[in-house]
Structure 1
Amino acid sequence: MKSVLSVVALAGLSEAALRFGCSTLSIQRLDPVVEPGSIPSAHLHQIVGGNAFNASMQPEDGDPAQKATCTTCTFSEDFSNYWTAVMFYKHQNGSYQRVPIMANDALPPGINGGMTIYYTQQDFFSNGNQKITSFPKGFRMTAGKVTATSKYSKGLKFVCLQNKSTRFPELDEFPTQKCNGIMTVHHFPACWDGKNLDSPDHQSHMYNTVNDAFVNSGACPASHPVRVPQVTYETLWDTAQFNNLPWPTDGSQPFVLSYGDDLGFGTHADYMFGWKDDALQRAMDSSCMFNACENGNPLKSQQPAQMNACTVQPTVDENINGWLSALPGMSIDHGDGVSEESEEYRECIMP
């Protein structure tokens, strides 16, 4: 724990930190960062943020902050989009059911699922004492790698929730015991090359100095000298409602991410900047913390009812609810060496 002296020493520094909720905007197979223009994308995502979200969203298509008419996030000037893979329960009979999302109890009640989003400067406790530069218009990045078969980044974690306030221990893969929910955590890199809005792998324009949990990030290297906000997502999945259904007898657990990963090494997230005008820079230059940044101090904010009312119409027409014979977009394995696409996927791609 930090000493009283260290806290006093930091009191005069710029310590802005944002923590806010975003209700669910959409759950569908679109990914305008990794698979721009693909309808549908390879696997299912849950998306929050501005309602300009669509399959393309390239920088030349315009600023989301100008095209969106609403946002599912607390700060009404934030039209960014944030998305992750979806979690499913896999029954022993081979069928799947989507795991619903829970709102974080550190946020105002009434938020419809979604995620908790953080923009911090250095770490969760002191929050740093250096200039933080907002992302530029058109910026996007990813965290994690869907094809990873071992730990990919220190910033990607799972937490077995005893309650919604549980934050430790942080695990590198899915917990194998029954939990009162599973939280996925995605910490993004906080050092930018200062030049590129994106890169072919959506990560090389960034440099990751992030350590486990909300602890100090290292200094940015000369190749990526610009310190940008530390963006983090927390997503709480309500796995407890599946605890009385069949579980594997081999000591493993029954949850998978929407691309079929039952270990979690491929956990990943996408970010697309869409703050209006200089709102994020104003916040980072201030000394506000969490909900003290709301109500014009310095950011405009809205209530959960307004957040929940913001939606987009699905672009991909497929069933994602109830018991499914296969993960959306994945093929059905009959165990005879022959696979076929799920009925939902065939209906989506066939005229």
Structure 2
Amino acid sequence: MHLSKLSTVALLARGIQAAAVLRFGCSQIIVERLDPLVNPGDNPSPHVHQVVGGNAFSALIPQSDVSELANCTTCTFSEDLSNYWTANMYFKARNGTYKRVGQIPNRFLNGEMGGMTVYYTGAYDGSKVTAFKPGFRMLAGDPLQRAAGGVTKWNAICFRCYNAKNFGGDNYAPCADPSVDSVALPNKMCPGGIRTTIRFPTCWDGKNLDSPDHTSHVSYPATGTFENSGPCPSTHPVKLPQLMFEVIWDTAPFNDKSLWPADGSQPFVFSQGDDTGYGQHGDYVFGWKGSALQNAIDAGCFGATCRALKTQTFAAANKCAVPKEVKEDVEGWLTELPGGSMGM
């Protein structure tokens, strides 16, 4: 997605006030079967995730100030020691074997190694948004979802099939166009890969940093969307920045009809065994230093440059690493998904 000054003009033309939009790249820090949010302490967890951000990532991340646990990050802003992760995508060949699908860095950024683009957006109507607090964490989507509904709706989670010629050239309109966006995995070959967009809840109960299901303490707007300034429900009155992940899966290497299922059905599957796409989900553990995120939003920062934040090069970011904890192959041609045929 190309978020430029032209995009801001387009928003204004639609009557939407321009907002602070942090948009930055994060390299992959690990691909591993660990999930400190849903399966804390389990080694291994049920399915594989691709993870970016700080080096505090492990099977268990204490619910404390993560910025004091990590000392480096794979993200553009060195003060962002948070962790962001999604289930990984696999290609299931006609012969029943699986191969992990890699990620393409957003072409308008430089130096990332796989990973994703992360967005934090302030309120379009100029109202106050409150940055996440130390210890905060949440989940967007439901890994068990296999049909339309739930939070997999137009204002939250979707896919876009890229053509090679227009890859990365979208305006700021994720999930807004049913003619090109879908909540299910695309059922055709995509020359430029498949974009995943995951939008997180933007309203908080103001009390709980987490909840047993990792979603009850947060909510999407009561009506409308965050973009059109939909109000928060009375149960979750605190407006948060909109956190959004953008992952571009490099599906092009698998665009060989002889490898696809004989019936022509789409061959991609998420690591939890989901071949529909409805179970796409994202996990978040907040780890910004001090008031850095609040300062950046209040300063109206835009894109991957912000005077209120410290920026690092990807030459430095890509040196950040965590030790591999699960000893298994997640990269080669596999006879089943890591964790079992259903990855659950």
Match of 1:306 in 2: 316
Q: Tell me, yes or no, if the aligned pair for 2:85 and 2:282 is still in contact at 8 Å.
A: yes
How far did 1:249 drift?
3.3
Residue identity in the other structure for 1:134: A
Is 1:190 matched up with 2:202? yes
Match of 1:227 in 2: 239
Task: Output one character per residue of 1:71-107: Cα deviation in whole Å (capped at 9) or x when no partner.
Answer: 0000000000000000001011111000111001122
SS at match of 1:280: helix
Distance 1:82 1:210 in 2: 26
How far did 1:4 drift?
5.7
SS at match of 2:228: coil
Identity, % of aligned pairs?
A: 49
Match of 1:319 in 2: 329
Distance 2:142 2:220 in 1: 14
Residue identity in the other structure for 1:38: D
Distance 2:245 2:11 in 1: 25
Give 1:292's match in structure 2, choosing from 263, 283, 305: 305
Match of 1:162 in 2: 163
Match of 1:335 in 2: none
1:167-186 → structure 2 map (5 Å cutoff): 167=170, 169-179=180-190, 180-186=192-198
Assess, with a 3 A threshold, how the Cα gap between structure 1 residues 121 and 178 changes in structure 2: closer, same or farther.
Answer: same
Give 1:239's match in structure 2, choosing from 251, 257, 274: 251
Mean Cα displacement is larger for which, 323-332 or 304-313? 323-332
Assess, with a 3 A threshold, how the Cα gap between structure 1 residues 87 and 3 changes in structure 2: closer, same or farther.
Answer: closer
In structure 2, stretches of 5+ residues that fail to align are 1-9, 171-176
Distance 1:276 1:255 in 2: 37
Match of 2:174 in 1: none
Match of 1:209 in 2: 221
Assess, with a 3 A threshold, how the Cα gap between structure 1 residues 211 and 303 changes in structure 2: closer, same or farther.
Answer: farther
Residue identity in the other structure for 1:141: M
Residue identity in the other structure for 2:212: P
In structure 1, stretches of 5+ residues that fail to align are 333-340, 342-351
SS at match of 1:281: helix
Residue identity in the other structure for 2:197: V
Distance 2:118 2:27 in 1: 11
Q: Tell me, yes or no, if the aligned pair for 2:221 and 2:233 is still in contact at 8 Å.
A: no
Match of 1:133 in 2: 130
Question: What is the TM-score normalised by the length of structure 2?
Answer: 0.88
1:269-288 → structure 2 map (5 Å cutoff): 269-288=282-301
Give 1:145's match in structure 2, choosing from 133, 142, 148: 142
Distance 1:270 1:210 in 2: 22
SS at match of 2:182: coil
How far did 1:162 drift?
1.1
Task: Output one character per residue of 1:141-194: Cα deviation in whole Å (capped at 9) or x when no partner.
Answer: 000111112123221101101143154621110001100201111100000000
Distance 1:45 1:212 in 2: 31
RMSD of aligned Cα (Å): 2.2
Structure index of larger Rg: 1
Q: Tell me, yes or no, if the aligned pair for 2:147 and 2:276 is still in contact at 8 Å.
A: no
1:39-118 → structure 2 map (5 Å cutoff): 39-59=43-63, 62-107=64-109, 109-118=110-119
Distance 1:46 1:201 in 2: 21
How far did 1:309 drift?
1.1
Distance 2:264 2:223 in 1: 29
Task: Output one character per residue of 1:202-260: Cα deviation in whole Å (capped at 9) or x when no partner.
Answer: 00000112999983251111110000110000001100010025112324211100111
Considering fraction of residues, name the structure with more helix: 1
Residue identity in the other structure for 1:204: S
Give 4+ residue runs of structure 1 displaced > 6 Å after superposition.
210-214
Question: What is the TM-score normalised by the length of structure 1?
Answer: 0.86
Assess, with a 3 A threshold, how the Cα gap between structure 1 residues 2 and 98 changes in structure 2: closer, same or farther.
Answer: closer
Distance 2:280 2:324 in 1: 24
Distance 1:326 1:3 in 2: 49
How far did 1:110 drift?
1.8
Match of 1:348 in 2: none
Q: Tell me, yes or no, if the aligned pair for 2:91 and 2:268 is still in contact at 8 Å.
A: yes
SS at match of 1:30: coil
